[in-house]
Amino acid sequence: MAPKSAPDGRILLRGATAEDAGPLTRLFLASRAESMPYLPKVHSDEETLAWMTHVVLPGTTVRIAETGTGELLGFASLDGTELEHLYLRPDVRRRGIGTLLLADVRERAAEELTLYVFQRNTDARAFYERHGFTAVGFDDGSRNEEKEPDVRYRWTANG
């Protein structure tokens, strides 16, 4: 079923509030389970909700993509020039929503944006590369909780 959107078909972007913690956590967990089933589950759902509530929402700029009726489609979390998270509901991928969120955080980061992606997440890697990001480092997984090798990407406004 296609998501409902604003009367003119637009996806709306807004800042997250504390009340969004539960829905964002559910979207985060569903997206990771669908797109990266190889990841170990290192935290309970309750611990993930606490992290979203007490770390992500108060500590980063979180932007939400939703329909005109408030249906949550995805979110991005920005910490300075580091894109910490960009997750979409699994059923709305490849509809331009990730591109809208990425454009929004690029404006907020202004000159440069960096991020990490798991090496095996080939869809995400292709997405960022299509949007002008360059791989600048590869890691063996020792820097993340999942112990999954990742790639550091960088984008600059002047190419």
User: Domain count of the chain?
Assistant: 1
In a domain, 51, yes or no: yes
Strand 12-15 and strand 61-66: the pairing is antiparallel
pLDDT in tens, the chain (159 residues): 333 445 456 889 999 999 999 999 999 999 999 999 999 999 999 999 999 999 999 999 999 999 988 999 999 999 999 999 999 999 888 889 999 999 999 999 889 999 999 999 999 999 999 999 999 999 999 999 999 999 999 999 887
Which pLDDT score, from 0 to 100, does residue 95 have?
85
Helices (H), 66-159: 97-109, 122-130
In a domain, 99, yes or no: yes
Which pLDDT score, from 0 to 100, does residue 103 have?
94
In a domain, 7, yes or no: no
- What is the domain range of residue 107? 12-156
Rounded distance between C-alpha atoms, residue 89 and residue 159, angstroms: 30
In a domain, 6, yes or no: no
CB atoms within 10 A of CB 4: 12
CATH code of the domain in which 48 resides: 3.40.630.30
Which pLDDT score, from 0 to 100, does residue 114 have?
97
Contact present, 98 and 88 (Cβ < 8 Å): yes
